[in-house]
């Protein structure tokens, strides 16, 4: 029987879509316990990102996915080494759009970059949504904020 493997990944997970789900499903095949760091609104501001959904909603969505064992807030770039040590992480996984950026973590665990799902991204969805008329956009925002 293979040894138990703890996996760690991070993401913003705004406008959760099939690409996010498929990435998590591929990550789950690599080990036994999955810890997901979801970027806080404050950290996204540092990264220059503005989310459509607040941190709490994004964390709840990710936490409800079958196979996700723990959701933690991602509050800074620097926390990764601390999290790897705290959660005894064996494998750190990110999408291949980050290829090479986290190689310094190989000193602490295996680092794997998985391919993104073709044809879908939060950026692409936001670009499509930006072409919606202002009146419809206002109506949609009202509905979202009532949820």
Q: Which residues are tagged catalytic?
A: 47, 49
The single residue listed with the structure tokens 């770039």 is 77
Do the beta carbons of residue 6 and residue 13 sit within 8 Å?
no
In Å, how far are 10, 22, 98, 138 from 52, measured between CA atoms?
A: 18, 21, 22, 13
Taking the chain, what is the end-to-end CA distance rounded to the nearest angstrom?
A: 45
Tokens of 70: 């723990």
β-sheet bridge partners, residue 33: 6
């Amino acid at each position: 029987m293979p040894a138990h493997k703890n996996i760690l990944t991070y993401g913003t997970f705004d406008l959760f879509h099939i690409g996010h789900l498929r990435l998590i499903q591929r990550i789950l095949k690599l080990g036994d316990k999955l810890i997901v760091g979801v970027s806080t609104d404050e950290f996204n501001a540092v990264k220059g990102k503005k989310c459509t959904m607040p941190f709490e909603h994004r964390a709840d969505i990710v936490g409800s996915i079958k196979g996700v064992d723990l959701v933690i807030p991602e509050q800074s770039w620097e926390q990764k080494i601390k999290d790897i040590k705290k959660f005894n992480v064996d494998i750190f996984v990110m999408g291949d759009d980050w290829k090479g950026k986290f190689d310094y973590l190989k000193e602490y665990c295996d680092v794997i970059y998985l391919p993104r799902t073709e044809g879908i991204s939060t950026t692409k969805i936001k670009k499509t949504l930006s072409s919606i008329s202002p009146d419809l956009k206002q109506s949609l925002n009202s509905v979202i904020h009532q949820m």
